[in-house]
Structure 1
Amino acid sequence: MRSKTFLLYAGLVVLFLALAIPGASAADTAKAGYITVGIAPVAQFDAHYAFTTIPTKVEFVDTSLGSKPMTWEWDFGDGVTSTEQNPSHTYLRRGTYTVKLTVKNAYGTSTAIKTDYISVGMPPKAAFVGSPTSGGAPMTVAFTDQSTGQVNKWTWDFGDGQGSNEQNPVHTYWAAGNYNVILTVSNEFGISDAMRNEYITVSGDLAAKFDAFPSSGKAPLATRFTDRSTGSPTAWSWDFGDGMTSNQQHPSHTFMTAGSYNVKLTITRGTETASTTQIINVGGVPDADFVGSPLQVNPNENVQFTDKSGHAPTAWSWDFGDTATSTVQNPSHSYQVKGIYTVALTARNENGKDTETKTGYVNVGMPPKADFRPVTTPYAQYAVPKTVQFVDQSTNMPTSWAWDFGDGATSTEQMPTHVYMKEGTYTVTLTVKNNFGSDTAIKQDLITVGGGAAVDFVADKTTVGVGRVVSFTDLSTSNPTNWVWDFGDGTTGTGPNPDHVYRATGVYDVTLTASNPYLTNTRTKNQYITVLSIPRADFVADRTKGGAPMAVAFTDKSSNAPTAWKWDFGDGASSTEQNPTHTYTTLGVYSVTLTASNKDGSDTITKVNYISTTLAPVAEFKANRQVGKAPFIVEFTDLSSNNPTSWSWDFGDGTSSTEQNPRHIYLYEGSYDVSLTVANQYGADSIYKTGTSAPASAVVTTEAPAAAATEQPAAVATAEAPAAAKPTTQAPLSAAVPLLATVIALIGAVFVSRK
């Protein structure tokens, strides 16, 4: 009797061990799947302590995920370890310590490593990033402190004379240039600097420029062009002068025949463009050039022209602009009629010819005509002080300039830059002279310094339904750097172009307050947005795939109380019911449209290729349960449509079945993906269901300052996923072990029953 009883208990013990104790291989290879047997751990932890106290007692808090029971192995980085779940540890010396936690349960192992996590009595280490680091002026950069250790103070130097004591400041660069940025951080134990040289690049106005090497030589001549433009262009257009072009930034081009080629580069940034031209001399063609003296003469006075052409021209052809010509190398010419004349020289040799044209080159008895324009950067429009560059646009070749800026200051430069120091409106005067006279241009109230900003905005729509997005766009001309919006419904927004959703019907005022570093101004548009209870159309179908004929029940999901519905089922049929049922009788793919209406308006939604009918089966299945302990019995039910005639199941543990509705036992811990392939005479379809449970074995490494590892979501089945390679989970024990245990237990039970 005792031997029989012992045999029974032994069998039960072996059975329990076989089914309850997982092997290492299962823990190491388990993956997220549709069927989950046990949950592997995910290590994570926090710490609470005073950075600046020595010695420092640190309270570690385990926040790991996974099935219990669980064990913990801590390494505090100073040679001390612990197996408690939430240990306390005292650091006795200054230093920066890396902490490691390894957790284990029956389903696997996970390790979290936080590098330089504990800093005791140490000065911080400065580090930062900025975004963006390049762009056009004005450019706003968001700086992010990435310093490690305890920081009590931040000091920023932005390289343009400005600074900040914020941890993560936002700074605007107003002028073009390359800026060094320095961050200094400190605590009771010391300071640290991080400097990035020429870290911020702010581009100004576009200026086209390029290098060409070589710029002359025998044909064929291969030339490499290097763009040297400033202002951060975004597009390049090259015209090589021989009919060929390029859109590369740094192109190479081969000139096949001798000649003098005008190579033009045009750069673009947004709506701005700039161009420059260079001459490429191929095959020793003359490089035409000349000078004339004097360039301001009375009628009948001689002008001496001197050839300065390169590459040894042997013939010259002059056009003096008054119908007169010459073939002398260095001619003199007298003009009979007053005027401004353009002079051209064409120089030739055996290799080819080149022409140099100088527009408006000779002034014969013409007094100047004064004209000018001011140039200010948009962001400085209302600045005080305000810098203005004046551009001389006078004609008829003036030789002297006299400026009166209206604030008591003057200049004799041709293109002066002037700084207005006080608010006000100023009249600017320019007087120009040459040998034949003078002229004055007066522009009243030309320059305004200070004053209110021109604040304006627009919405993409002013009548909308409840819950619909309204997009606002700032139109202010003062180049604001800060925007505060009041949408009239108790909510506010920031930024130049916010989106807003009104949740209730009504008529709303909208206010924008726009600021730059010098001033703030506000504009309100009264009763600007009207919000009505316009429906927002939406719907679902109870099925979207199946065999023809296929009856589909559509359910209206529209919001805002529609009172009328118009359906277009995509096959020529329609309905005005709220929740119609429609039968698709032919094979095809159909787009479905619903228009929902009420007294305030209507809305339409179209779901493209929403319904598909086919004779081939459409795979689908379900499991009666998805999570449990081993041994885990799952009943699978085939839900496929279109009358499949064959079924092929892959349970993810190396086993399969061809039954329609199989019953399967998972003997080992793990996470398993399941797939079903169904077929009939018209084709086949597969569905693959997986999950998102935590992996069985993982190492999480975090750089200080560390945050807790992200919690892994629970296993979720994916209804339809592409048929990919299906991972399997290695069994921790041989299949013979649980089978043997079961047999022993059954034999013991028989012996007991016979007694």
Structure 2
Amino acid sequence: MNRILFTYIRLGLVLLAMVVCPSISYSQYAFNIPSRETSRVIEYNSIWVEVSGKLALCSHSEKGNINLTVGGGKAPYTFKWNTLETSQNRTNLNAGTYTVWITDSEGKVHEQKIVIQPPFPLILNPVVKKDATCGSGADGYAKISVKIGRNDYEPNSPDYQVTWSNGLKNVWEADNLEPGVYTVTVADKYNCDTSVSFEIKSASEGIQVSKTIENISCSSDSNGKISLNVTGGQPPYTYKWNTGATTKDLSNLSAGTYQVQIQDSKGCSFQSAYTISASSTITLSETILQPSCQGNSNGEIKVNVSGGKAPYTYLWNTGETTASAKNLGSGTFSVKITDASGCQVEKQFSLTNESNLQIEILDNRPVSCSGNADGGISLGVKGAKGKIKVSWTDSPSDQLQRKDLKAGVYTVLVSDESGCSVSKTIEVVETQSLTARIESALDVDCAEGTVEGVAWVSIQGGKEPYQITWSTGSENSREISFNKSGTLKVTVKDALGCVTETETKVDFPNTNTQGSRLDFQYRKLSISSEPEVQVKEEIVFESEIAPEFIAWEWNFGDGQKSSDKDPIHIFEKPGTYEVSLTGFDMLGCSSIEKNTINVLAPTEMLVIPNAFSPNGDGLNDTFIPKLRGISSFTLEVFNTWGEKLFTTTSLESKGWDGTYKGQLSLPGNYLYKISFITPDGISQTKTGGITLIR
């Protein structure tokens, strides 16, 4: 050992002499020992050299090598070494000085000396360390240093490279070390290195922890558990998790990493991290075939599933249960995928038509006047795929703008490169046709007996302003007056030059109904010796109306009216009624005549004939009592043997006609029975005989 150390010291002194002593000459070229073996560059005016390779040895068993990069001068170059080698680069070299002469094609010579450094000892001082207080603590300490090394003797040397087994770099001291074995490696400027190992012990037994972990099946679940079993140290223990929990065990955990610090009663602590894992997340990729045209259902979505646990089940919102959904139109579609563990993932897709071809009507210009050809159509196309083709049913093609069109219906067909097509029908109309209508009225003052005719023109369509010319000579006035019958004409021309004409006949009356005869009388419809008007009796109102009256109206005073000339009216209740007759002439003027009628309540009356002769002469042909003031009755007829021949309960009945079962009854005596109810509500019965005369 002493001999080896002496050899290293002697080599070091020799190297030191080489570095410090200026007796070694490098001709007119100066160079410095580089900080790295591949960075030595020699420059000169004509030929220049860059030297790289392994230019220092870490041990006597290693060999060096020299690589030359040459420039300048004029290639090609020849090489001659002091070892008689002629190659450009050298390998398998021992430590020493190597000289090379480089000659270019013009005979210029460059001399280069290169040193392969011999091994140099790298010796570390003993490690200075302090053990940790607890087996689970992290308060140990260690310090290293170099006793002998190349970097300390060669000028302009960089720092040593220091690498600790716990990840620290280029530091000589380390604290917060846990109990355990550590290794530190120190390398010099030529990457020659040496290592030292040491152990940080603990003053007392550390905390030992074993764990039981329950992972989750689905990445979206939160049912994981971490259970700890803690021994060692000095109980009791305290727990502090990175979630904020202070319990020994954790539950309801999602996938992730959970860190805990455990401390015993002496202050020794233990730190660890535990991972809750889940099966890989189910992921989807899809292949989508968009539907071709608007309204088509030839789209398709195919999903590729990875992650989770196979096999998978599929459920689309269309009801399909395979990995593909077919025959789809544009819209939104979703699929829910469940793996063998019951984990699910859902994804939504949006399909749009490759071609959403649509035709827009940008302008539909109507024809100005009837019969003209100045209409126009301007179209726009959107949603097309590629170039479009345009055709019209009336022959023109590749035109989206049309002009000089007559009123009518035009159909266009547009198709694109996807093969989709759409058509639209457009109607070119005439500007709302210019029409005119003459209306007239009579302005009548019934009190003064004066009449004035007024006519006006109603104009529709066309475009204002209008030029108006009347046959009376009046211009640009919509209303005129007239005072005689005849034909009125008007011509209307609008701002577009469209013209329309119209005419109408007007009547101007020359009659005046003032003083014309208007009167009426009334009488009973049935002949009666009683002049009073009774309730339920038919009253005829007979009018005297002059021809000048063209309409009339009756008001009977009981809420009923009539427009008959000679109406028949029945008063349903007793009372005094004012009956009026109003006559209207052709000018709308009216005259009125009034009369008062006193209607009496009916008195009870029952008149029974004692004979009748059914011979068809219209007189006394049936047997029927005369009734008045009776609300209901029943008539029965019997022969002398008590056989019933006839019965009726109708107040409108014509009575017995002298037949029985379709046969004529013999002349003679018969019996009757009449039951009735008086206006006072009293029921009465009358019987007697009747003679049938033939």
Normalising by structure 2, we get a TM-score of 0.24
Structure whose CA Rg is larger: 2
Normalising by structure 1, we get a TM-score of 0.22
Q: Which has the higher contact order (CA 8 A, sep 6+)?
A: 1
